[in-house]
Structure 1
Amino acid sequence: MSELLLSSLLRQALLLSAAVLLLWALHRPLLRLGASAAYASWLLLPLLLLTPALPRPGREPLQRALQAATNADMTELPAVVAPATDHAALWLVLWLAGAAVVVAVQARRQWQLGRFGERLPAGRSPALVGLLRPHVALPADFEQRFSAAERELILAHEQVHRERGDNLWNLLACALTALHWWNPLAWWAARRMQADQELACDAAVLARYPGSRPTYTQALMTAHHLMPARAPLASRWGSSHPLVERITMLNRSRTLPRRRAAALALALLGVAGLAYAAQTPPQAASATQAAQPQKVEIRLNVTSGAFKAAPRLITALGERSSLQWGGTAAQSWRLDFTVTRGDDGKLQVLTQPSYGGKALGEHKGVLASGESFGQRIGGSDGVPALQMTRVVTLLPADFKMPSHESKPRS
C-alpha cells in the first residue's frame, strides 16, 4: 500500500514539475497577451494533475492516433518507481510529515489573520479574507493613508477577487505546496500564480474604471511598504510582485478578447490531452506486475562434515524451490524454500529440510532484503549435522530468470 501511494505521489511530482517548467518558459509570451492570459494559464497545473485519475480505454486509441499522425513512435511518460519496499514506508512518512508541518504553519497564519476580523492593525495591506463568506479586511489607517478615489479603486480590486473566487485558487496553491513541500518549483509556481492574480485583478479594475490609471498607480505606490497578509485564504491588495513591473503592466493592461480566451483554453486542453495520451495506464502496469512476480535470490552456505557448498537459487515470491544432494536416497539432503513478503515489507522465508526422505520439521525466518540468518539442523537420531546460512535478496523487477538450474558444488 505504501509503495502504491508513494509511486502516485512521485508521478504527481513529475507532472507538476513538467507543467511548471512549461509555464515558466511561456510566461513572458503570455504576459504580452495580457495579465488575464498569464493568470488563466495556471489552470494547466490542475488539468495535468487530474489526468492520471481520468478513466482510460482498454486499447489506448489516443496513442495509436498520435503515432499514425506523426508517423513516429509514441513516447510514453517514464514510469515512476517507488523506492525499495522496506524503505517505501519511511519515505512516505517523511513526505507526509513535511506536508503536515506546512499545513500547520499555514493554518496558524490563517488563524492569526482571522483574529483581527474586518479591522487590521495599521500598516497592513487591505485583503479579502475567507472562502465561503469572504470579507474585506481594512487596516486601521485606511482612511488616513488613501484618498477617497484611491479607496474606491482598492475596494473595487478586492471585489474582483471576490467575484473570481481567487481565494479558492489560493487554497489550491497552498495544498499543492504543502503536498510537494520539497519541490522548489511548487513554491515558485505558487508565488508566480499569486503575482499574476494581482496583475489580472489590476487589469480588470482599470477596464471598469477607464482613465483611473494615475490614481491607481498612486495607490500602488502608497501601499508598497504595507505588510501583506500571508495567509492562504487572503487575496491582498499588495503583492510580492516588483512594484516597477506591476506599474509597467498597468500601461499594458487590457482584457482578454473572447477569441484569444477560447484559443488559450483549447491550447491548455490540448497540452493536458497530450499528457493524458502519453501516460501508461496504471491498470496495465498492475497487470504486468501481476504476470511477472517479484524475483528473489537465495544464497546458501551449507556445511555437513567434510561436505561444503555455496549454491545460489533464483525463484519468485510465493513459489517453492528445492535443493537436493547426496550419494544415495538414504543419505541425501533436500531443502525446500518458500519466500513471501509481509505487509511490513519484510521477507518471510520458510525452510523445510529433510534427510533420507524424512522431514525434519520447518523453520521460519523474517528478515529484510539482503540480511542473512543461520540455522543448525540434525546432529542426532542418525541424521548428520548440517550448518546452513542463508542470504535472501529481492531482485529488480526486470530480472530475467536463468535457463539453467543452480546445483551445489563441493
Structure 2
Amino acid sequence: MDAALLRSLWYISAALALVLLARRPARQAFGAGPAFSLWLLPALALVLPCLPELPAGWSVLPSIRVLPGAIAVGMPAADATVSMPWLRWLWLAGTAAMLLRLGVHYVRLRRQARALPASMAASLPQLLDGFDLHRLRLHASGPAVLWAPRSLLLLPADFLDRFDATGQRLVLRHELTHLRRGDALWSLAAELMLALLWFHPLAWLARPRFRLDQELACDERVLRHTPRDEAGYAQALLHSVDLSAAPALIPWFAEPQLKERLSMIQRHRPGALRRRAGYAALAVLMAGSVFVAQAATGNPPHQTAGQDLSYNSRLYPKYPAAAIKAGEQGTVMLKVQVLADGSVGSIAYEPEHSTTTSADLIAAATDAARQWRFNPETKDGKPVDGYVRVPVAFDLHPPPSPADDVEKSNSKLQKVF
C-alpha cells in the first residue's frame, strides 16, 4: 500500500487517540474552550504530509563490494512496498457513500425548512442581537444551526411556547455563539473527516465526543458572559426535548449530552489566565507534533531514490588490474544525481566520505555508475530529480568464506592421517 497513505493514517490514528485521552483532563485544567481546540490535532495530522519538508540529507544506498577477479557483490535491501489498488478503490467507494449520505441529509433539511411566520419574526428581533432574520427558518429539529455558505438558524414551530422568556433568550444566545465561533464550519470539517475515515473505529468513537466538546465550549462562553443565568440555562436544558441530530445539524440539545452539560454549569469555570495557558499549551503541542512527525520519517513525506537491481546487477564495476598490482583498495563514495526518468545525471566523488584516493578505483566506480539505472525519487506521487550516495568498496583481501574454512580443515585432517 502507498507509504504516504499509511503514514497519514498512522498520524491521524495517533492524533485521535491523543485527543480522546486528553480531552477530559484538558477540560478540567483549562476549560472547555481549549479542550475543544484539541480537535485541531486530527485535522493537522491529515495535512501533515503536505507541510514543507524539513531539510534532509541524501539517502545512502547499501554498499557494493568489489573483489579482484570476480563480479561485484551488491547487498541492497528489497523494496517492501505492497501495491493493493483494490484497497484504494474500496476506500474511495466508502468515502463516496458517506458523502452521498451527508448530502442527502443536507438537501432534506433545506427542503423541510420553512420561512418564519410574520408573527414569530416580529417577536424575536430584540433577542437576536442584530442577526439577519432571513437566516431564520422553521424546522422540527430546531433549535439548531444548519451549516451552509451562510449558516442558518433553525427554530421549532413551538419555540415561543416551549421556552419561557429567559429560556428563549439563552437558547438564542447559545445558537448565535455557535455562529460567531464558526462551529458550523467545524462541524462540516468533522463530517468530511468522518467520510474520509469511515473505516476507522476511532473516528466513529470520536464523533459524539467532538459534538459534546463543541457544546460544552459554547455553553462555557455563554455563561462566562452571563454567569447569573446558570439556573435558567440548566432549566432550559431540562425542559428540552431529545433530538435525533442529523449529520448536517448542530442541535441545541441531545440527551446523551445532558449529564456533562449540567455538570459543567455547576462547576467553577477556569479564569482567563488558565484558558490562555491552555491555548498556549495546545500551540506547543501542535508545533511539537509537527516536528516529531517530520523527524521520525527521516527524509519526510516522499519516496527516496533506489536502485534498479535487475539492471544494475549486470553492470557492477570490475577491479582494475592496475589497482590490484598496486595493492590499492578502499571505499569510493559517489554522489549520483538521479533524474526523474531514472537515468543518471552528474556523478561526483566525495573524498570526505571515501577511504581511498586511488584514481583507478574512482574511475572504475564512476564508469560503472554512468550505466546504472535508478528508481527516481517521488514527491506527491510524481517522479522528481534527486540524489543518492552509493558506496563502492574495493577489497583485495576478502574474509574467508565458510566453504574455504571447511576445505582447509579437511586438508589438515588428511595431513594428520
TM-score range, shorter chain: 0.5 to 0.7
Unaligned ranges ≥5, structure 1: 61-80, 296-315, 322-410
Q: CA deviation at 1:130?
A: 2.4
In the alignment, structure 1 residue 35 sits paired with structure 2 residue 32:
yes
More strand by share: 1
The equivalent position to 1:91 in structure 2, one of 87, 94, 106, is: 87
> 1:82/1:42 Cα in 2 relative to 1: closer, same or farther (>3 Å)?
farther
**Equivalent AA in structure 1 for residue 9 of structure 2:** A
The equivalent position to 1:125 in structure 2, one of 121, 142, 162, is: 142
Partner deviation per Cα, 1:234-263 (whole Å, 9 max, x = no partner):
222113643122201111263662233223
> 1:141/1:182 Cα in 2 relative to 1: closer, same or farther (>3 Å)?
same
**Aligned positions, number:** 270
> 1:245/1:286 Cα in 2 relative to 1: closer, same or farther (>3 Å)?
closer
> 1:218/1:265 Cα in 2 relative to 1: closer, same or farther (>3 Å)?
same
Q: Is the 8 A contact 1:20 1:189 kept in 2?
A: yes
Q: CA deviation at 1:282?
A: 4.7
Q: CA deviation at 1:114?
A: 1.1
Higher relative contact order (CA 8 A, sep 6+): 2
Name the TM-score, length of structure 1 as normaliser. Answer: 0.60
Q: Is the 8 A contact 2:184 2:250 kept in 1?
A: yes
In the alignment, structure 1 residue 252 sits paired with structure 2 residue 250:
no
Q: Distance in 2 between matches of 1:82 and 1:157?
A: 53
Partner deviation per Cα, 1:9-62 (whole Å, 9 max, x = no partner):
3322211110111122212211202111210111111222222211223327xx
Q: CA deviation at 1:83?
A: 6.8
> 1:14/1:57 Cα in 2 relative to 1: closer, same or farther (>3 Å)?
closer
> 1:131/1:319 Cα in 2 relative to 1: closer, same or farther (>3 Å)?
farther
In the alignment, structure 1 residue 190 sits paired with structure 2 residue 207:
yes
The equivalent position to 1:15 in structure 2, one of 2, 11, 31, is: 11
In the alignment, structure 1 residue 169 sits paired with structure 2 residue 165:
no
**Equivalent AA in structure 2 for residue 46 of structure 1:** A
Q: Is the 8 A contact 1:206 1:212 kept in 2?
A: yes
> 1:102/1:253 Cα in 2 relative to 1: closer, same or farther (>3 Å)?
farther
In the alignment, structure 1 residue 218 sits paired with structure 2 residue 238:
no
Q: Distance in 1 between matches of 2:226 and 2:260?
A: 21
Q: Is the 8 A contact 1:125 1:229 kept in 2?
A: no
Q: Distance in 2 between matches of 1:200 and 1:12?
A: 28
Q: Is the 8 A contact 1:119 1:140 kept in 2?
A: no
Partner of 1:291: 306
Q: Distance in 2 between matches of 1:195 and 1:317?
A: 59
Partner deviation per Cα, 1:199-258 (whole Å, 9 max, x = no partner):
0000111112221011100111111x33243133x2221136431222011112636622
The equivalent position to 2:56 in structure 1, one of 31, 56, 59, is: 59
Partner deviation per Cα, 1:155-202 (whole Å, 9 max, x = no partner):
111111111111111111111111111001012222211110000000
Q: In the TM superposition, what are the counterparts of 1:282-321 in structure 2 within 5 Å?
A: 282=300, 286-287=303-304, 290-293=305-308, 316=310
In the alignment, structure 1 residue 148 sits paired with structure 2 residue 201:
no
The equivalent position to 2:96 in structure 1, one of 88, 94, 100, is: 100
Partner of 1:73: none
Indicate the SS of the match to 1:235: strand
The equivalent position to 2:284 in structure 1, one of 250, 262, 266, is: 266
Partner of 1:326: none
Q: Distance in 2 between matches of 1:253 and 1:237?
A: 22
> 1:9/1:256 Cα in 2 relative to 1: closer, same or farther (>3 Å)?
farther
Q: Distance in 1 between matches of 2:205 and 2:271?
A: 25
**Equivalent AA in structure 2 for residue 279 of structure 1:** T
In the alignment, structure 1 residue 279 sits paired with structure 2 residue 297:
yes
Indicate the SS of the match to 1:242: helix
Q: Distance in 2 between matches of 1:134 and 1:207?
A: 24
Q: Distance in 1 between matches of 2:103 and 2:268?
A: 34
Q: CA deviation at 1:82?
A: 8.8
Q: CA deviation at 1:268?
A: 2.9
Q: Distance in 2 between matches of 1:37 and 1:100?
A: 33
Indicate the SS of the match to 1:187: helix
Partner of 1:229: 245
**Equivalent AA in structure 2 for residue 115 of structure 1:** R
Q: In the TM superposition, what are the counterparts of 1:131-142 in structure 2 within 5 Å?
A: 131-142=148-159
> 1:217/1:141 Cα in 2 relative to 1: closer, same or farther (>3 Å)?
same
Q: CA deviation at 1:319?
A: 8.2
**Equivalent AA in structure 1 for residue 264 of structure 2:** M
**Equivalent AA in structure 2 for residue 244 of structure 1:** K
Indicate the SS of the match to 1:203: helix
**Equivalent AA in structure 2 for residue 173 of structure 1:** A
Q: Distance in 1 between matches of 2:282 and 2:33?
A: 11
Unaligned ranges ≥5, structure 2: 58-78, 114-135, 316-417
> 1:163/1:57 Cα in 2 relative to 1: closer, same or farther (>3 Å)?
same
Q: Is the 8 A contact 1:113 1:229 kept in 2?
A: no
> 1:114/1:106 Cα in 2 relative to 1: closer, same or farther (>3 Å)?
same
Give me the identity figure in percent: 37
> 1:256/1:93 Cα in 2 relative to 1: closer, same or farther (>3 Å)?
farther
Q: Is the 8 A contact 2:147 2:185 kept in 1?
A: no
Q: CA deviation at 1:267?
A: 2.8
Q: Distance in 1 between matches of 2:252 and 2:80?
A: 43
Stretch of structure 1 that moved more, 23-32 or 102-111: 23-32
More helix by share: 2
